[in-house]
């Protein structure tokens, strides 16, 4: 399906939580529909969408504000992202009808992210990914946020990739929020991808300290997913 979603300048994240009491047969039907029909259809029916992939949550499993299933769709440029916004509501494409479990699943996240910097492989098919959503210190000045951004891109991103065994680390800025649990979606999303789906050894080695806006950052969520399709 072309360039991988998180290799694109923008991506749409759609996070679902299927009902916890769904029968296993219904979950299999949902996965089959998503993986063999819906992913490709969303890409085909939205001009400028490049590729789609689905992930399943491995940690944490008990947080209802975090999607247990995550679909990501690569978008080729800002014009395509704006065209997608213009097609919301009655202008949205009509997709193939899914199983009942598709409509019973709760949509937890739906937002578009804009790429802000990356280190590592230019494109890859990840077996797992970690996503960390955060905001700088709440009272940070514009100058402090600039320091935050510089440290995040030049120091922290490559340090995590090199020390924790990921193949790529990418920073994203929130471009548009459709849906996210209160109080709101975080401003930044760092995504770390690895082709090897196996969990890394526990523990984090010492990391370099950053400026005040970094040290007092607010981490809204820290999640790990494995590739499902």
By the 8 A CB rule, do 173 and 105 touch?
no
d(CA 37, CA 18): 18
Please give the full DSSP string across 171-183, using - where no structure is assigned. EEEEEEEEE--SS
CATH hierarchy code of domain 5-227: 3.30.70.100
Q: E strand or H helix at 212, and its extent?
A: helix 212-215
Quick one: DSSP state of residue 19?
-
Identify the CA nearest to 73 among candidates 102, 43, 93, 95: 43
Question: Which residues is 124 bridged to in the sheet?
Answer: none
Give the pLDDT confidence score for residue 136 in this predicted structure: 97
**139-195 pLDDT, tens digit each:** 999 999 999 999 999 999 999 999 998 999 999 999 999 999 999 999 999 999 999
d(CA 4, CA 141): 35
pLDDT band at 2 (very low <50, low <70, confident <90, very high): low
pLDDT of 66 strictly over 90? yes
Which pTM was predicted?
0.95
**16-65 pLDDT, tens digit each:** 999 999 999 999 999 999 999 999 999 999 999 999 999 999 999 889 99
pLDDT band at 1 (very low <50, low <70, confident <90, very high): very low
Query: Is 61 strand, coil or helix?
Result: coil
Give domain limits for the chain: 5-227
């Amino acid at each position: 399906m072309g360039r991988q979603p998180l290799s694109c300048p923008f991506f749409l994240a759609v996070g679902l939580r299927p009902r916890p009491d769904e029968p296993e047969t219904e979950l299999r039907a949902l996965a089959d529909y998503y993986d063999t029909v819906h992913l490709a259809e969303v890409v085909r029916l939205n001009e400028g969408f490049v590729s789609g992939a689905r992930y399943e949550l491995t940690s944490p499993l008990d947080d209802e504000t975090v999607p247990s299933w995550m679909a990501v769709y690569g978008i080729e440029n800002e014009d395509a992202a704006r065209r997608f916004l213009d097609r919301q509501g009655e202008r949205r494409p009509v997709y193939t009808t899914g199983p009942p479990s598709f409509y019973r699943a709760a949509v937890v996240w739906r937002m578009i992210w804009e790429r802000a910097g990356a280190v590592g492989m230019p494109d890859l098919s990840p077996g797992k990914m970690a996503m960390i959503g955060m905001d700088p210190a709440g009272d940070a000045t514009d100058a402090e946020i600039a320091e935050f951004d510089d440290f995040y891109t030049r120091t922290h991103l490559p340090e995590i990739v090199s020390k924790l065994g990921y193949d790529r680390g990418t920073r994203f800025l929130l471009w548009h929020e459709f849906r996210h649990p209160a109080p709101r979606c975080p401003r930044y999303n760092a995504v770390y991808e690895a082709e090897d789906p196996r969990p890394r050894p526990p523990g984090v080695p010492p990391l370099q300290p950053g400026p005040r806006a970094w040290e007092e950052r607010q981490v809204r969520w820290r999640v790990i997913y494995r590739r499902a399709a």
